[in-house]
A and B are shown apart, each in its own frame.
Chain A
Amino acid sequence: MREFFHSVTLDRDKCKGCINCIKRCPTEAIRVRDGKAVISPERCIDCGECIRICPHHAKQPIVDPLSVMDTFEYTIALPAPSLYAQFNNLEDTDIVLSALCDIGFDEVYEVARAAELVSEATRRYLTRPDVQKPVISSACPAVSRLIRVRFPGLVDHVLPFVAPVELAARLAKEEAVRVTGLAPEQIGTIFISPCPAKVTAMRMPLGSDKSWIDAVVAIKDIYPPLLHAMKKAKPRALADSGRIGIGWAESGGEAAGLISTERYLAADGIENVIKVLEDLEDEKLGELEFVELAACAGGCVGGVLTVENPYIAKAKLKRLRRYLPVSRNHLGTTLPSEVLWDQPMEYQPVLELGADATESFARYNEMQKLLDALPGLDCGSCGAPTCQALAEDIVKGEADFEDCVVLMRERMENVLKVLKIDKPGWGLARKGTPAEEEPEEDLPHDD
């Protein structure tokens, strides 16, 4: 197994160990240990929920600073479709693309262009008789990772195509190598991203060994200089994508680009995504051709690295799309191999209890005994999100029964009772001292 990389880090000084994040994580990947949050790298799917929820801003996405540009001879900006949704009254994407060049990029290649190619490839793929229906989109890396660790039965349904940004990076770089004569390493493909999951997808791509993306800059980081440059920019004709490509920014956009089918479902927000995947696995959803899932509410416009509220962003996109042609990018007669994964996605059983049935059964039965003893409050004070999760940690040897704060307090109280101390903080009171004369009932009574 390759080493895990993740796009989220913890600022230990800022973390208060408040347990907000452990409760929110959809794969229960976070524990608070010694007062600080710890992420299990095998379980994390990079959905960004913990970044969103942390009230102390202790969870930081790992992205590159804009100055990463300086490390390349020649730079290509790859703006995500969701970038266009960040600006007021945008009727023309040329101004955004021109401003990107003005702040120092040598070239722009819209991710929306590649998205149109992936849409067309998907349309063709859906007509093949041998594909497992419904086909599940592979565009959101957080969803793909979730399927890989939690839904083994659905792995074969995932669209085996690279994400649009990956295709954009490759097409743009290959073209730039031809035109400039520079070596591939001298050319930097820099994704302007709504989401940290894409950083992980760049470092550890699913479906291939290497990524063509060289750096990821957050939309929120480029937004201030870009806005400034847009005010002064003289728009050049750079835009080369249509409604289908730009539609990928929001939930339902990818499916809408398929045109060929109305039997699709689009869901957004990680909780909804999980519900849909569960139902898909149990064949509860009837005849569907295509399922589009985005971890973020609203789709990529809801990514944690964006600036605008996702629903306002959607409204802005609607306005922009009015002025666009349907699609401006088309495939030739054959499916370009660049679109295809070069290795299949494989199930990773990281959520299983044991290495084999014997160990799993033994641990399961041990867990049930622990659960009977634990209070069942799911309070999170032990650092695990639920009593069940603590029991699991204990049987795996990662936590102790004594970590349960509630049981510890009960035990303390019993010890104090035996020692004839009614309440902690009252000081040591021995037999024969006045403290003993106090009533011993737990409840106060009316005299």
Chain B
Amino acid sequence: MASESEPICLHYEVPGNDFTRAGEASADLKARLKALGFPSAAVRRAAIALYEGEINLAIHAHGGHINVSVTPQRIDMLLWDEGPGIADIPLAMSEGYSTAPDEVRSLGFGAGMGLPNMKKYTDEFELTSTVGVGTRIAMAVYVS
């Protein structure tokens, strides 16, 4: 039975402010999910959500860490950092809200759509944050 498959665990370290490497984690996850034969909709949703998450780690949190656990039923992604934290979470979650500096905006980021899209593309999304301590996002994409 597929449900008995051993979960696949992946770990990524995201460096801060390095735009040449931003996107590596989601690209790697996507390639693996494709090789595993996941339905393309699930692959796409997980890749988009993780991409937004890793960009946020790079831009807003001086880097961070990602754990991914994959089973035939679900893709669980945990992102955490020791960055500045988010004071007003509902505000950060609203479409169009962004504190991205100009140099980041000139690279095409900073539309304030990352967090809303992560929520939109996943089936479970939970953000917790403490100012001065860090931020933690747990999200999951259900397969099928």
Contact = CB atoms under 8 A, between A and B. Distances in A.
Do these two chains interact?
yes
Contacts of B40: 152-153, 281, 347
Nearest to B4: A358
Contacts of B89: none
A351 to B, nearest CB: 7
B107 interface: no
Of the four ranges (under 10, 10 to 19, 20 to 34, 35 or more), the interface on chain A belongs to 20 to 34
Interface string B42-54: 0110011001000
A157 to B, nearest CB: 12
B41 to A, nearest CB: 7
B2 A352 contact: no
A357 interface: yes
A282 B48 contact: yes
A281 B42 CA distance: 12
Given A357-B2, A357-B5, A361-B8, A282 B36 contact: no
Contacts of A353: 35-37
A356 B36 contact: no
Of B30, B40, B51, most buried by chain A (CB within 10 Å of CB) is: B40
A319 to B, nearest CB: 37
A225 B36 CA distance: 52
A365 B44 contact: no
B51 A284 contact: yes
A268 B30 CA distance: 23
Given A282-B51, A361-B5, A364-B8, A356 B44 contact: no
A283 interface: yes
Given A153-B41, A153-B43, A281-B44, A357 B35 contact: no
Interface residues of B, number: 22
A357 B38 CA distance: 8
Contacts of A347: 40
A282 B44 contact: yes
Contacts of B6: 361, 365
Contacts of A150: 34
Contacts of A358: 1-2, 4-5, 72
A362 interface: yes
Given A281-B44, A364-B8, A356 B35 contact: no
A356 B34 CA distance: 12
A236 to B, nearest CB: 52
A360 interface: yes
B100 interface: no
Nearest to B108: A286
A253 interface: no
A153 B46 CA distance: 13
Interface of A: 150, 152-153, 278, 281-284, 347, 349, 351-354, 356-358, 360-362, 364-365
13 contacts: A152-B40, A278-B27, A283-B44, A283-B48, A352-B36, A353-B36, A353-B37, A361-B6, A361-B8, A361-B72, A364-B35, A364-B36, A365-B6
Interface of B: 1-2, 4-6, 8, 26-27, 30, 32, 34-37, 40-41, 43-44, 47-48, 51, 72
